[in-house]
């Protein structure tokens, strides 16, 4: 007995596209009060990696970290450009961006 494969779309019809993951720029506040800036398209997974000490060398020695800010971006390229721009900001400007008082 042979099994026929069934089609989910009609001939000539396109498959529905999976939505592309959105990119985010995020800032973490580390235990020592410093800020870490990064990008991701899967924030929960990235935060777990930071908490496990496997996401970045910088945050590994400054655990625990706390999510301080996120900013959606339309593409990976835009997220990388925004990350670079945020990294160039002074600490008071980053605190203004986050909208919170600086931590000691």
In a domain, 48, yes or no: yes
pTM given for the model: 0.75
In a domain, 8, yes or no: no
In a domain, 34, yes or no: yes
In a domain, 10, yes or no: no
Name the domain count of the chain.
1
In a domain, 73, yes or no: yes
DSSP, residue by residue, 33-79: S-EEEEEES-HHHHHHHHHTT-S-HHHHTT-S-EEEEEEEESSHHHH
Q: What is the CATH number of the domain that holds 86?
A: 3.40.1440.10
The conformation of residue 93, written as its DSSP 8-state character, comes to: H
- What residues make up the domain containing 83? 23-98
In a domain, 76, yes or no: yes
Per run of 10 residues, the mean pLDDT along the chain (length 104 residues) is 56 61 92 95 95 92 94 95 96 90 46
In a domain, 52, yes or no: yes
In a domain, 43, yes or no: yes
List the strands of the sheet with 23-29, edge to edge: 35-40, 23-29, 66-73
Pairing state between β 23-29 and 66-73: antiparallel
Termini Cα distance of the chain? 73
Residue 17: predicted pLDDT: 58
**What are 45's two structure tokens?**
């997974």
The radius of gyration computed from the CA coordinates of the chain, to the nearest angstrom, equals 20
């Amino acid at each position: 007995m042979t099994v026929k494969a069934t089609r989910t779309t009609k001939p000539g019809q396109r498959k529905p596209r999976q939505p592309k993951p959105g990119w985010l720029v995020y800032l973490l506040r580390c235990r020592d009060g410093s800020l870490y800036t990064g990008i991701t398209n899967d924030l929960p997974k990235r935060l777990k990696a930071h908490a496990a000490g496997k996401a970045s060398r910088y945050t590994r020695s400054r655990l625990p970290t706390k999510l301080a800010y996120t900013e959606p971006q339309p593409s990976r390229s835009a997220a990388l450009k925004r990350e670079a721009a945020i990294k160039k900001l002074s600490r008071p400007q980053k605190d203004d961006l986050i909208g919170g008082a600086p931590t000691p």
